[in-house]
């Protein structure tokens, strides 16, 4: 019985130690900006470690969906 309890405590301690190793240390919130094509003169995107996806919208407007730190 003591071996089972010790094993469980070791697994719980190991799991809690690994939970602190996540790369998501900063919480991010999703935000969105929408504008008509006539309102936009240009877009400047300066990122280092983010993925950027560009695709046409169904309604002909410009939608920018991004995450920002809180």
Distance CA 1, CA 24 (A): 37
Place of tokens 């730190």: 69
pLDDT for the residue numbered 43: 81
pLDDT for the residue numbered 17: 61
Longest Cα–Cα distance in the chain: 72
Tell me the average confidence (pLDDT) per consecutive run of 10 residues in the chain, 70 residues long: 68 62 66 84 80 82 79
pLDDT for the residue numbered 57: 84
Q: Report the predicted TM-score, pTM, of the whole model to 2 decimal places.
A: 0.46
- Of the candidates 23, 30, 12, the residue with the CA atom closest to the CA atom of residue 66: 30
Domains of the chain: which residue ranges?
27-40+59-70
pLDDT for the residue numbered 53: 79
């Amino acid at each position: 019985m003591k071996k089972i309890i010790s094993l469980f405590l070791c697994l719980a301690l190991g799991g809690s130690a690994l939970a602190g190793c996540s790369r998501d240390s900063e919480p991010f919130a999703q935000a969105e900006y929408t504008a008509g094509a006539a309102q936009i003169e240009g877009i400047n995107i300066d990122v280092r470690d983010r993925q950027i996806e560009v695709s046409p919208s169904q309604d002909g407007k410009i939608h920018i969906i991004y995450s920002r730190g809180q």
